[in-house]
Structure 1
Amino acid sequence: MEFTIGALSAMGAGCFTNPLEVVKTRLQLQGELRKRGQYTVHYKNFVHAAYVIAKTDGILALQKGLAPALAHQVLLNGVRLGGYQIAEERKLNLKENGEVSLARTVAIGAVMGVAGAYAGSPLYLVKTRLQAQSAECIAVGTQHKVTGTFDALCQVYKSGGIYGLWTGVTGSVPRLAVGSSCQLGTFYIAKEFLANNSYYQIEKGLLNTTVASILGGVVVAIFMGPLDVISTRLYNQAYDNHGRGLIYSGYFDCMKKIWKTEGFAGFYKGIVPCFMRIGPHTVLCFVFWDQLKQLQHNYFDSKRNLI
């Protein structure tokens, strides 16, 4: 049940935020390993990117990769949020006095983020490659020429075998460990503070969850933005038959090359759609999650009362 609640929450959010993910991916790949002024700027900013994609590839292109994106959310957040809910029900996130522990929440969030990263990595790989694929006149990054989710999985499997399906996971693990711990840590601490502070209390409920989610989205965007760029680059690059990247040999090589050619700003490419995607996604995900958990608790309470 915990897995189902976590998965449904994230899928509901993913339907609304996938177009922002498409724009973010394109901006993160634009000018890959090129200094400013040495590449064609197809996408000037977030709004322009959305307009160009819709005009050139069609309005439906803004929902590219939706199927693997939603399936990825099932595995990622089914494991991540479901695992956290199990820990929460066992009070593993609380101090001895019953208060929410920031250290324990961050630690549980990081562990569940890593588990979710491995569970959903093959679908995140497919999602990234589908979202990067475009008409040649506005193409950025490596173009993998895949026709859909199944075709992409088959191509990856043929070239790299079963291990090839987890190509790029080294970029996803740090991203989700940091993102999950920041998101869950900020969310729960903010919820407790908003409900219990002596200045302006917001009782636990929909408004409390929404405000805490917004704060969580801001923190995640700041800390996860650079890791998200690295993750996108590693997933989208081409690999040889031995699983070696043709652009980056690994995580730290990617980090070094981005710093050398694109500078600090390179790590924050696509930060606007990143926040605009993470902010609403966090809000929608946690609102759905809280409401579904409440429905679950109400259902089991009513069953107990009947007994």
Structure 2
Amino acid sequence: MQENQSQHVRLFFKNVVLGGSAACCTCFFTNPLDVVKIRMQLQGELKARGQHAKFYRNPMQAMYVIARTDGLVALQKGFIPALHYQFFMNGFRLGSYQMAVRSGLTKDKDGKVSLLLSIVYGAMSGSLGALTGSPFYMVKVHLQAQAKQEIAVGHQHTHENMRHAFKTVFKEQGGRGLYRGVNAAIPAVTVGSATQLSSFSFARDFLTRHQILQPDSLPLTLTSTCFSGVCLAVVFTPFDVVSTRLYNQGVSSTGTGLFYKGFFDCFYRIFQTEGILGFYKGIVPSFLRLVPHTILCLSFWDRFSLYFMKSSKQ
């Protein structure tokens, strides 16, 4: 029994490495859009429409403004903490979900993929991923929001790099400071993970059962990930905006947020000052980032997992 438990632990961490590696493979391509998304989500914070400067109008114009003002390298701001975040968050998220899939926990009594069970286990794995990746996400947001004064939006932190950011936050706020914003990250990633993984599993199972596409084929993977990416962008964006605001806000000397008291207060204040559309700030770059990120990440993950399963049987 002890040997069996040891094998399960080894398999879990192998799946964590597979999931984390798949996510890291996408980071270089999607990080510039993430920078743009963060800036657009912070633009006009707690201000009514038309009552704030609008530096960033759309993704292409925002990229041009950032590159012209801060330099081309600024489009990859926060890349190192983003890599760490992707590895830990998606590693534990995808790794734990894969364990549930391989154990048959996401299927009903007839052996079909259950949408409800996929949502449940996708949400649970998302919570685990959010908890492990939260400190890196906070630092990533702080660095991605940094800009020259003429195009700066949101609170401006003065971190030099990831190491300096961790050192500064820990020195000023202690260990709790590294997890500031996790109360927003957990519901955001939980909802996002439940949507992404359940829609991916459902689409793949549907296309396979109805013999529309061949099992384990690349077209099957790409079609399923496209469907999943669209579902994710629509559902996840409001939670992502709240998460970005909470992570980036400045703190007082007592460690409390300068703008928001917490998750629900942030939702209420955005709705009160910016309206429903405030929750969809940055929806275009978010969509342009989430869809290819989902396609690339889940495609890499699916291919890596299939290769691992085949090599393990040999």
- Structure 1 equivalent of residue 288 of structure 2: 276
Distance 2:39 2:134 in 1: 19
Q: Secondary structure at the match of 1:99?
A: coil
Conservation of the 8 A alpha-carbon contact between 1:230 and 1:254:
yes
Q: What is the CA deviation profile of residues 45-101 of structure 1, one whole-angstrom value per residue up to 9, with x for unaligned ones? A: 111111100111111111000100010011101100000111111111111111111
TM-score by length of 1: 0.96
Conservation of the 8 A alpha-carbon contact between 1:42 and 1:49:
yes
1:158 Cα deviation after fit: 1.2
Conservation of the 8 A alpha-carbon contact between 2:213 and 2:220:
no
- Structure 2 equivalent of residue 305 of structure 1: none
Distance 1:53 1:182 in 2: 32
- Structure 1 equivalent of residue 71 of structure 2: 58
Distance 1:239 1:168 in 2: 12
Q: In the alignment, which of 194, 208, 213 is matched to residue 207 of structure 2?
A: 194
Q: What is the CA deviation profile of residues 114-161 of structure 1, one whole-angstrom value per residue up to 9, with x for unaligned ones? A: 111010000000000000000110000000011110111111111110
Within-5 A mapping of 1:88-99: 88-99=101-112
* Segments of 4+ moved more than 3 angstroms: 200-204
Q: In the alignment, which of 239, 245, 262 is matched to residue 250 of structure 1?
A: 262
| Residue 231, structure 1, aligned to residue 243, structure 2 | yes
Any stretches of 5+ residues in structure 2 without a counterpart? 1-13
1:202 Cα deviation after fit: 4.8
Conservation of the 8 A alpha-carbon contact between 2:81 and 2:139:
yes
- Structure 1 equivalent of residue 159 of structure 2: 146
Conservation of the 8 A alpha-carbon contact between 1:167 and 1:243:
no
Any stretches of 5+ residues in structure 1 without a counterpart? 303-307
Q: What is the CA deviation profile of residues 151-200 of structure 1, one whole-angstrom value per residue up to 9, with x for unaligned ones? A: 111111111101110001111111101000000000000001112226x4
How large is the Cα RMSD of the aligned pairs?
1.0
Within-5 A mapping of 1:284-295: 284-295=296-307
- Structure 1 equivalent of residue 4 of structure 2: none
Within-5 A mapping of 1:110-129: 110-129=123-142
Matched positions, count: 301
Q: In the alignment, which of 176, 198, 208 is matched to residue 189 of structure 2?
A: 176
- Structure 2 equivalent of residue 220 of structure 1: 232
| Residue 32, structure 1, aligned to residue 45, structure 2 | yes
| Residue 84, structure 1, aligned to residue 84, structure 2 | no
Identical amino acids, percent of aligned pairs: 45
